[in-house]
Copies of this chain bind each other. A is one copy, B any other.
Amino acid sequence: MPTPRDHTAQSATSTPSADEEKNERQLRQERILDAATTLLIRWGYRKTTIDDVAREAGVGKGTIYLHWKDKTELFQAAIWRASAQVTEEAKASIAADPQGGLAHRFWTHGMMAILRNPLLAKIMQGNSDIFQGFIGTLPQSTVAEAKEIFTRHFSQLQQAGLIRNDISVAIAYHIFGVLKLGLIHMAEFSDQENTPSYEELTEAMSELIQRWLEPVHLPTDSTTGKAIINDWMDQVNSQIPYNP
Contact = CB atoms under 8 A, between A and B. Distances in A.
Interface in A152-189: 167-168, 170-171, 174-175, 177-183, 185-186, 189
A115 to B, nearest CB: 15
B185 A171 contact: no
A181 B171 contact: no
Give the number of copies in the complex.
2
Contact of A195 (B147, B174, B180): B174
Given A171-B204, A174-B196, A182-B182, 14 more contacts: A147-B194, A167-B204, A168-B204, A171-B201, A174-B201, A175-B205, A177-B182, A177-B189, A180-B182, A185-B185, A208-B208, A208-B212, A211-B212, A212-B212
Interface string A186-209: 100110001110001100110110
Interface of A: 147, 167-168, 170-171, 174-175, 177-183, 185-186, 189-190, 194-196, 200-201, 204-205, 207-208, 211-212
Nearest to A183: B178
A189 B143 CA distance: 11
Contacts of A174: 186, 190, 195-196, 201
